[in-house]
Amino acid sequence: MREGYTNSMQSVVENLNETFEATADAVAQARSWLADFAAAVGATDSQTDAVRLAASEAVTNSVLHAYRGEPGPIYVSAAVVSGELWIQIADDGCGLKPRADRPGLGLGLGLIAQVSDDFTIACRASGGTEVRIRFHLPGPESPEQTGSHDRGRRSDIAGRRHPVSPAAASIA
């Protein structure tokens, strides 16, 4: 579903919302869907690639960890607000709990931190996990033109920003 809204300050809000079943197919579907949206709203080619990677990692986490092999929904949304692309990937699963049967290396969250301008992980009040990812889109005051950006920082679960060394980001 694509919607557009213009308020009295001429700020256009565009958004998409989709629900996927927590299966391997959802990863490719969400990745393609979000990359197409990012390109359509003005993301650069490198940002579109970053959206693909971040979406793949976040949706894969939901597929592998949220429902522990049971069916369940993954909610994916994207919106452009005030020159920023916000992506939210959420599930109703078991939340952030360690799994002995899937220890993994934990590289996905570090990759999201490296390719996005900001990201936050939150426990949902109704249960499950929500990942919020932000990309600053190019514009008159964009980081691409001014040379300033806040990559190399990450948000903790409460949204506080912390510097991340490349080595730490790779294991986060």
Residue pair 63/23 in contact by the 8 Å Cβ criterion: yes
For residues 166 and 169, give the distance between their C-alpha atoms in angstroms, rounded to a whole number: 5
User: Domain tally for the chain?
Assistant: 1
What pLDDT does residue 103 have?
A: 59
Regarding predicted confidence, which is higher, 90 or 166?
90
Q: Is the pLDDT of residue 86 over 80?
A: yes
For residues 121 and 52, give the distance between their C-alpha atoms in angstroms, rounded to a whole number: 18
47, containing H or E segment: helix 45-61
Let me know if residue 3 belongs to a domain: no
Residue pair 16/77 in contact by the 8 Å Cβ criterion: yes
Q: Give the domain CATH number at 59.
A: 3.30.565.10
Per-residue pLDDT reduced to its tens digit, 37-72: 999 999 999 999 999 999 999 999 999 889 988 889
User: For all residues of the chain together, what is the average pLDDT?
Assistant: 78
Let me know if residue 8 belongs to a domain: no
Percent of the chain with pLDDT over 70: 68
The residue type found at 22 is A
Let me know if residue 9 belongs to a domain: no
Q: What letter would DSSP give residue 166?
A: H
Let me know if residue 51 belongs to a domain: yes
Question: What domain range includes position 18?
Answer: 14-171
The token pair that represents 92 in the structure block: 């109703």
Let me know if residue 91 belongs to a domain: yes
